[in-house]
Structure 1
Amino acid sequence: MFRHFGERRTLSHNLQLATLLSFVAGVVNISGVFYIKTLTTNVTGHFAFFAEEIVLNNYGLAFIYVAYVLCFLFGSFVSGFLMQLIARKKKGMSPVLLPILLEMLIISLVWYYSYTTVWSASKTHIIAASLLFAMSVQNALVTLVSNSIVRTTHLTGLFTDLGIEWAQLIFYRKAQARKRLKQSIFLRLAIIVFFFLGCVIGGVLFKFVSFHALLLAVGVLSYALFYDSIKYQFYSIKRRIQSHI
């Protein structure tokens, strides 16, 4: 799921990556909406809020929305930097290991911070900025691993691509081209469905355990790393055995 890059990736690799991490994004998204009434997986809406506050002369709030955008940008930078660093320096380590561990750490710290500090406006902004950073780390690593095929933290582009590909399906006649289109459509639908499931399941869980629902995202990320590591070890052992036969 995490070990193959670009052309080496199959539909199965991308489906595993897309479903798990889009589910995580859905959980984080709904948790942020319920707990701090703020979008925490993308920055599109925050540009509109920034413009609104500028027009209303609320420059302090406008600065906050700029900070949100910059946190998202910085998350992508850190994720890309860590992956490049590992790829160049640590040949035996998966390039996604540190970004995912960083994402898990930030989400865990946000959960801990939410229960150990009193409620205030600054607390809301810190939580929002931190979750935006974490989701940007995830979005960048998924983009790099899948060669920009998979996106997991926002759906606008997915729905656009989905509409285009459905239109192309009407006109494409060659079997190979139709097969690629159908696989792409299936992948995009899987991301949308699992993002929605993450929102619904995370929302239901939030009703019962409040912001503890955020730990579900950490659990899914832990499972993804564990599954990928076990599968990698299995195939490594299998190759060694076959090489001695």
Structure 2
Amino acid sequence: MTLRVLRHLAARHRTRATNHTLGLMLAFNAGAMNAGGFMAVHMYTSHMTGFLATLADSLVIGEFALVLAAIGALWAFMSGAGTTAILVNWARQQHLGGAYALPLLLEAVLMLLFGLLGAALQQWPTPFAVPLTVLLLAFMMGLQNAVVTKMSSAQIRTTHMTGVVTDLGIELGKMLYWNRAGTPRAARVRANRQRVRLFASLLLLFTGGGVVGAAGFQTFGFVWVVPQAALLLALSLPPLLADAQRLAAWWRARRGDGA
């Protein structure tokens, strides 16, 4: 993949092709982080449904430590999504090309922090190890999910597959639907085959990322986050470097005019 292509994947101006390509790559990353996170803390942090269920169940049975843990994960996920909104809107107001690159860069840095934190806590375990890791992972998942949601106008999700499976099932149902003879063309039920391919690809890449992430963490430990962070850096740095070059050229021209 050329630098020119990478420069446009996380750029401000979107096309259907760049949305789909970036969504598929981030689905792989989310699957890997979700599975790797489970290997680290024995908990999936990509979807909030489970945490809401834990919150409700724990309230009933009086497990208030679990209630606080669920609230913390929910807060971290929402904070990550909110951080993405702040970064993207700020970049748009500054007319930066890499509007969606900033949260991806932050996620890459936090992923490396997750690796360092996990490796350190393996050597010096503390009671706060699992809660801190869960909060960090949930924040990262919220950060990434909001990136894809904003760039695709909520048409693509990458950190949890419930909506993807639902949409895929709807399109498959349309494919199997029998249109009676004589049904007007405008009234016929037709599947959107492009959406079928997209949703199926998201599922496959999320699953493939989970397999790779689980195997990588099991084999190499927390150092496995380095190639995952490198993927996010490859997506985020080219548009940000292009912005930096434009700002440098503007600054040089301004200094020349001042002289």
TM-score range, shorter chain: 0.7 to 0.9
Distance in 1 separating the partners of 2:116 and 2:102? 21
The aligned residue for residue 253 of structure 2 is none
Opposite residue 19 of structure 1, the aligned amino acid is L
The aligned residue for residue 149 of structure 1 is 155
The share of aligned pairs that are identical, in percent, is: 25
The aligned residue for residue 46 of structure 1 is 51
The aligned residue for residue 247 of structure 2 is none
The aligned residue for residue 2 of structure 1 is 10
Q: CA deviation at 1:231?
A: 10
Tell me the alpha carbon deviations over residues 42-88 of structure 1, each in whole angstroms, 9 at most, x when there is no partner: 21111112222212212122111111001101111110111011101
Opposite residue 189 of structure 1, the aligned amino acid is A
Q: CA deviation at 1:205?
A: 1.4
Choose 126-135 or 54-63, whichever is displaced more: 54-63
Q: CA deviation at 1:230?
A: 9.2
Question: Do 2:28 and 2:206's aligned partners in 1 also have CA atoms closer than 8 Å?
Answer: yes
Count the aligned residue pairs: 225
Distance in 2 separating the partners of 1:39 and 1:50? 15
Q: CA deviation at 1:178?
A: 5.1
Match of 1:96 among 96, 100, 103: 100
Opposite residue 84 of structure 2, the aligned amino acid is S
Match of 2:210 among 199, 217, 231: 199
- Larger Rg computed on CA atoms: 2
Q: How do 1:28-43 residues align onto structure 2 when only pairs under 5 Å count?
A: 28-43=33-48
Question: Do 1:41 and 1:154's aligned partners in 2 also have CA atoms closer than 8 Å?
Answer: yes
Unpaired runs of at least 5, structure 2: 1-8, 180-184, 244-259
Opposite residue 111 of structure 1, the aligned amino acid is G
Question: Do 2:148 and 2:158's aligned partners in 1 also have CA atoms closer than 8 Å?
Answer: yes
Question: Do 2:12 and 2:98's aligned partners in 1 also have CA atoms closer than 8 Å?
Answer: no
Choose 221-230 or 48-57, whichever is displaced more: 221-230
Tell me the alpha carbon deviations over residues 152-204 of structure 1, each in whole angstroms, 9 at most, x when there is no partner: 00001111111111222345867xx958x111111111111000010001111
Question: Do 2:30 and 2:206's aligned partners in 1 also have CA atoms closer than 8 Å?
Answer: yes
- SS of 1:42's partner is coil
Q: CA deviation at 1:227?
A: 6.4
Question: Do 1:2 and 1:228's aligned partners in 2 also have CA atoms closer than 8 Å?
Answer: yes
TM-score (norm 2): 0.79
Distance in 2 separating the partners of 1:46 and 1:100? 24
Q: How do 1:5-154 residues align onto structure 2 when only pairs under 5 Å count?
A: 5=13, 9-10=15-16, 12-89=17-94, 91-117=95-121, 118-154=124-160
The aligned residue for residue 163 of structure 1 is 169
Q: How do 1:219-230 residues align onto structure 2 when only pairs under 5 Å count?
A: 219-225=230-236
Q: Which ranges of 4 or more aligned residues in structure 1 deviate by more than 3 Å?
A: 169-174, 226-232
Question: Do 1:87 and 1:95's aligned partners in 2 also have CA atoms closer than 8 Å?
Answer: yes
Opposite residue 104 of structure 2, the aligned amino acid is I
Unpaired runs of at least 5, structure 1: 233-245
The aligned residue for residue 223 of structure 2 is 212
Distance in 2 separating the partners of 1:231 and 1:194? 29
